């Protein structure tokens, strides 16, 4: 049998890599909306993670991160790779995440939800941030400390006290919105951050921000905005999620 002749066609769209926790059911769908096929090529890999998110399971995830990054297709360097775990970045360290990823896959840039959220806060002049977290205190409190170490005061935060990821993905958006409302009612804030890539926040950001009269940010929104900026992409607007 003879080989049928074919032509090669180069693809000049920006190429994004996303490292997602095995148990995360939310961020990949959000990113498919934020980066549709005509805007960028989105390549997703999964990193093993425990059913429960604890400091111990996050430490185990660190050792698996390079192997997950190596599974991203990279015939040429990716424009940017995002590690999609806010609490994981907090406990592993953003610099260490970057080193682990760049040691495993060719990419021009690496970012994460924590670094992206800090950048958003600084660009918006946020001095006092309220945080909504789904997790138990041993996971949630280091996030607060990381923002404060980055120069952003966190006078108040709320947590749902959950550590089972399958339940985190099913926390109703109305409950997340109620938590944000509660924070703004009891504390003077410049913005609210909805922390966790597995929370379903994308559709409540714009209406909640309008209702509260201040920026409402999320892990997924911040990470997507940072990746878009690094890759020089003008993303498709989805309910003003990247504005």
Q: Percent of the chain scored above 70 by pLDDT? A: 96
**pLDDT tens-digit profile of 21-59?**
999 999 999 999 999 999 999 999 999 987 777 777 777
Helix 137-149 to helix 55-70 angle, to the nearest 10 degrees? 70
Q: Quote the pLDDT of residue 236.
A: 65
CB contact at 8 A, 83 and 115: no
Give which of 189, 33, 170, 31 is closest to 113, Cα–Cα: 31
Q: Quote the pLDDT of residue 243.
A: 45
**pLDDT tens-digit profile of 168-189?**
999 999 999 999 999 999 999 9
CB atoms near residue 81 (< 10 Å): 32
Q: Quote the pLDDT of residue 240.
A: 44
Rounded to whole angstroms, the Cα distance separating 170 from 122 reads 31
CB contact at 8 A, 211 and 241: no
Q: Could you tell me if residue 93 is left (phi over 0), alpha (psi between -120 and 50 degrees) or otherwise beta? A: left
Rounded to whole angstroms, the Cα distance separating 201 from 171 reads 10
Average pLDDT on 107-132 reads 98
Domains and CATH numbers, the chain: 15-112+223-231 (3.40.50.12500), 114-219 (3.40.50.1860)
DSSP 5: P
The strand pair at 41-47 and 80-84 is best described as unpaired
Rounded to whole angstroms, the Cα distance separating 183 from 150 reads 21
Rounded to whole angstroms, the Cα distance separating 201 from 216 reads 10
**pLDDT tens-digit profile of 81-119?**
999 999 999 999 999 999 999 999 999 999 999 999 999
Average pLDDT on 119-142 reads 95
pLDDT at 239 over 80: no
Extract the tokens encoding 41: 């090529």
Extract the tokens encoding 177: 């919105």
Average pLDDT on 60-81 reads 93
pLDDT at 241 over 50: no
Helices (H) and strands (E) in the chain, counts: 10, 8
Instruction: Reduce the DSSP state of residue 110 to 3 states and report it.
Output: strand
Give which of 167, 170, 24 is closest to 87, Cα–Cα: 24
Rounded to whole angstroms, the Cα distance separating 217 from 120 reads 8
Q: Quote the pLDDT of residue 237.
A: 66
Q: Quote the pLDDT of residue 242.
A: 45
Identify the helix (H) or strand (E) that includes residue 144.
helix 137-149
Rounded to whole angstroms, the Cα distance separating 90 from 195 reads 11
**pLDDT tens-digit profile of 202-219?**
999 999 999 999 999 999
């Amino acid at each position: 049998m003879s080989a049928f002749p074919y032509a090669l066609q180069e693809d000049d769209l920006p190429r994004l890599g996303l490292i997602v926790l095995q148990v995360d059911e939310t961020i990949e769908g959000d990113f498919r909306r934020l980066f549709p096929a005509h805007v960028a090529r989105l390549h997703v890999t999964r990193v093993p993670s425990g059913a429960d998110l604890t400091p111990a399971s996050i430490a185990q995830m660190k050792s698996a991160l390079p192997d997950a990054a190596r599974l991203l297709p990279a015939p040429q360097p990716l424009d940017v790779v995002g590690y999609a775990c806010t609490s994981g970045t907090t406990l592993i360290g953003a610099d260490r995440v970057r080193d682990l990823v760049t040691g495993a896959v060719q990419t021009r840039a690496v970012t994460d939800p924590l670094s992206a959220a800090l950048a958003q806060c600084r660009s918006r002049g946020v001095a006092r941030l309220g945080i909504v977290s789904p997790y138990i205190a041993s996971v949630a409190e280091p996030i607060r400390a990381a923002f404060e170490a980055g120069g952003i005061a966190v006078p108040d935060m709320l947590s749902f006290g959950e550590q089972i990821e399958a339940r985190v993905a099913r926390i109703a958006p109305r409950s997340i919105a109620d938590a944000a409302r509660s924070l703004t009612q009891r504390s003077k804030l410049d913005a609210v951050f909805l922390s966790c890539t597995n929370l379903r926040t994308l559709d409540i950001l714009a209406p909640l921000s309008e209702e509260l009269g201040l920026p409402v940010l999320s892990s997924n929104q911040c990470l997507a905005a940072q990746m878009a900026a690094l890759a020089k992409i003008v993303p498709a607007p989805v309910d003003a999620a990247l504005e």
